[in-house]
Amino acid sequence: MSVVACIARTALVEPTPRFPAHVIARFASRALWDELALDPKPGLVTLHDAGAHDDMDARTFVRSLFALRRHFAKLAAAGASAAPFDTLRALGTAAEADMLAATGGVNTHRGAIFAVGMLCAAVGSLAARTTAFTDEAIRRTLRDRWGDALAAHTRVNHASHGGIVARRHGAGGARAEAAAGFPSVFEIALPVLRAARTGNACVRIQRVRALLALLAHVDDTNVLHRGGAVGLAFVQRRAAEVAAARDVIAQCAEMHCELVARRLSPGGSADLLAAALFVDAVQGATG
């Protein structure tokens, strides 16, 4: 079925006047911006350098951000409309097409479109039912509404780098994360982010610590693609060491140089950080 046909099957509605789709999309776009603006960020693109990449920089990401905002609104509205997974997937495909058009064919946000897009749909669904955006409510919505389709989607023979690497190394990848209710977001990144906030750490350190926790625990398919199992082991070990260091910012900056030298870019973890920042923001906005 075509993208247009899938989308046309479901009449999209606003989640709620209090928390409409465009507001959910604003939080999604802001989460992607906050992920881009975070520095240091080992191996990844920031506002200051291109990390381990030679095909993209901050300007590429900003062009992508502008292209994606309206798509996140559509995904939130689809969630509010109890749209099937085929509709969400079609909306994601349309978002990817606009991203690639805006970036000249560079994949800046494919993983974030999937992760943040599914969370937009879940938040839209909860908003339509005036249900609080708790961790459990978001995860339950993902499982109850789209869990079976997501689980089936993980078995599709994807030709992407992430899909190929996930099969080769036995890593789950983004689709397995979604099917499981994003454990890396809700059980790793968000608890670390909240603990750092409770400890009065500044916003920058909160986010750096959340990213380091992801780097230490996630089998990042982007890292596996570039560096194999050896590269992944190096990233996970160094992230754990940096997280335990007294001067986490300085050590994280040093790790950034190490990953750039090895051409390792943990883009999957960056996508999960953006997803965690999105959830944290919508929860903060609604108390």
Residues with Cβ within 8 Å of 86's Cβ and at least 6 positions away in sequence, in order, are: 1, 6, 9, 149
Asked whether the whole model's pTM tops 0.85, one would answer: yes
- CA 62/CA 75 separation, integer angstroms: 20
Can you tell me the distance from the alpha carbon of 59 to that of 50, in angstroms, rounded to the nearest whole number?
Answer: 10
Q: What is the mean pLDDT of residues 126-131?
A: 92
Output the pLDDT for position 149. 92
Phi-psi region of 188 (alpha: psi -120 to 50; beta: other; left: phi over 0): alpha
* pLDDT score of 196 more than 70: yes
Name the band, by pLDDT with cuts 50, 70 and 90, for residue 163.
low
How much of the chain exceeds pLDDT 90, in percent? Answer: 80
Rounded to whole angstroms, how far apart are CA atoms 271 and 115?
7
Q: Using 50, 70 and 90 to split pLDDT, how confident is the model at 10?
A: low
Q: Indicate if the pLDDT at residue 18 is higher than 90.
A: no
The pLDDT of 178-185, averaged and rounded, is 93
Q: Name the one residue in this structure whose structure tokens are 């776009």.
A: 29
Whether residue 15 contacts residue 95, with contact meaning beta carbons closer than 8 Å, is answered with no
Position 175 scores a pLDDT of 80
Retrieve residue 59's tokens. 């300007």
What is the residue-averaged pLDDT of the chain? 90
Mean pLDDT within 86-90: 97
The residue-averaged pLDDT of 214-231 equals: 95
Question: Between these two residues, 153 and 279, which has the higher pLDDT value?
Answer: 279
Q: 125 and 140 in contact (C-beta within 8 Å)?
A: no
Looking at residues 236-262, what average pLDDT do you find? 98
